[in-house]
């Protein structure tokens, strides 16, 4: 059964043919502005709610919830209708509330240092399954307003292109979210970046670079063998020329692998040409990758070195490590391991 969030406003209007126009508005308001579930939109008659509830079902169901950072980071494992599981992370900061959504159940890209990549691909998510993650997080964030959506959970958003584009459009149109507040993170699917540039969408693009020489990047990010750094650069140039929007690079610092002075100079050259902002993330531990993240002192040194080389670089504060909710740790584990953590952090 589909989710009501699979519908756009025209779909809903045609579904309600014969009903007064204000019914569409009431439903739309309840769903998108207030983030209510169908049964809770009490402004519309019960008979209509029942008719719709028989046609549409919630796409996601909570299988587990854990919290850390004194409740400022919350992670949910959601079960989908076919038993597949995904994860969503809500992070509250002083100035913003951000939800990190999954775009696929699992991921086929196989990046060696990423728990999602280690676990492999299950399936694509639908529009409704992604939007419901956002709406669930918006309800959980209340009374604060959910301000940012980042596609940095499980999956490669540009390998689920149609859905990613539809979700961005709807969040922009129906929830008035601006480009600064919507970020798609990609491992570097070059042709999809070029296609995305042409959509004229209001969003910020983050590219997970991690290495600026092909030998190291081939090892960390297998997709680099298909779209090596030279090809990725072309796509980034197209993005900049077409959208005039800033680009950012993600760089998970791995001890002895991509935190050397040589790696710093390679990155400075690559990012400098594209005037990209660099986000440094200390590598988060995952079960399948035994190399360590860089020491914190090295993280700061690396950032200072980049800045001295003229690159706009910042360190991203890690959230949710203790509950496996940090970047690259999402593997939708619902076994005893996560449950024990859940007990500890409550």
Site residues for ligand SAH per CB under 6 A = 113-114, 152, 156, 185-187, 208, 250, 252, 281, 283-284, 286, 327-328
Binding mask 125-164 for ligand SF4 (x = CB under 6 A): ------------------------------xx--------
* 87 a catalytic residue: yes
Catalytic residue, candidates 107, 111, 236, 327: 327
283 binds, among ligand SF4, ligand SAH, none (CB under 5 to 8 A by kind): ligand SAH
Stretch that binds ligand SF4, among 31-39, 77-85, 103-111, 211-219 (CB under 6 A): 103-111
Alpha-carbon gap, residue 148 to 145, rounded angstroms: 9
Q: Between residues 27 and 254, which has the closer beta carbon with respect to ligand SAH?
A: 254
Nearest distance in Å: CB 324, ligand SAH: 10
Contact 35, 135 (CB under 8 A): yes
Q: Between residues 36 and 316, which has the closer beta carbon with respect to ligand SF4?
A: 316
Prior bond to 202 cis, omega within 30?
A: no
The residue sitting closest to ligand SF4, measured at its beta carbon, is: 117
Q: Between residues 250 and 259, which has the closer beta carbon with respect to ligand SAH?
A: 250
Gyration radius of the chain over CA positions: 21
Q: Is 71 exposed, middle or buried (0-12, 13-18, 19+ CB in 10 A)?
A: exposed
* Per CB under 6 A, 107 contacts ligand SF4: yes
Number of other CB atoms surrounding residue 9 within 10 Å: 14
Please identify which residue in the block is written with the tokens 């990725």: 232
Nearest distance in Å: CB 210, ligand SF4: 9
Please identify which residue in the block is written with the tokens 């951000």: 98
The DSSP annotation for 235-275 comes to HHHHHHHHH---EEEEEEEBTTTT-SHHHHHHHHHHHHHTT
Active centre residues (catalytic): 87, 327
């Amino acid at each position: 059964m589909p989710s009501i969030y699979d519908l756009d406003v025209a779909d809903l209007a045609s579904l309600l043919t014969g009903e007064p126009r204000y019914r569409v508005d009431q439903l739309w308001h309840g769903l998108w502005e207030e983030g209510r579930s169908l049964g809770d939109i009490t402004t519309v008659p019960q008979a209509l709610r029942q008719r719709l509830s028989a046609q549409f079902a919630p796409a996601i169901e909570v299988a587990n919830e854990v919290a850390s950072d004194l409740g400022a980071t919350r992670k949910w494992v959601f079960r989908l209708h076919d038993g597949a599981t995904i994860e969503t992370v809500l992070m509250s900061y002083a100035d913003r509330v951000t939800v990190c959504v999954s775009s696929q159940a699992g991921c086929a890209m196989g990046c060696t240092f990423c728990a999602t990549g280690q676990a492999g691909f299950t399936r694509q998510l639908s529009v409704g399954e992604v939007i419901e993650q956002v709406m669930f997080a918006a309800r959980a964030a209340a009374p604060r307003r959910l301000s940012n959506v980042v596609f940095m959970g499980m999956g490669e958003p540009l390998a689920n292109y149609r859905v990613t584009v539809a979700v961005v459009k709807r969040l922009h149109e129906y929830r008035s979210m601006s480009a600064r507040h919507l970020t798609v993170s990609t491992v570097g699917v070059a042709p999809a970046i070029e296609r995305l540039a042409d959509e004229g969408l209001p969003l910020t693009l983050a590219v997970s670079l991690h290495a600026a020489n092909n030998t190291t990047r081939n090892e960390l990010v297998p997709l680099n063998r298909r779209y090596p750094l030279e090809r990725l650069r072309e796509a980034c140039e197209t993005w900049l020329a077409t959208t005039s929007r800033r680009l950012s690079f993600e760089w998970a610092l791995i001890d002895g692998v991509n935190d050397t002075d040589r790696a710093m100079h390679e990155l400075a050259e690559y990012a400098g040409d594209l005037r990209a902002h660099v986000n440094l993330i200390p590598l988060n531990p995952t079960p399948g990758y035994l190399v360590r993240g860089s020491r914190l002192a090295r993280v700061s040194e690396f950032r200072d070195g980049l800045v001295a080389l003229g690159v706009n670089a910042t360190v991203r504060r890690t959230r949710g490590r203790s509950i496996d909710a940090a970047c690259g740790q999402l593997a939708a584990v619902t076994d005893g391991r996560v449950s024990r953590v859940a007990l500890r952090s409550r």
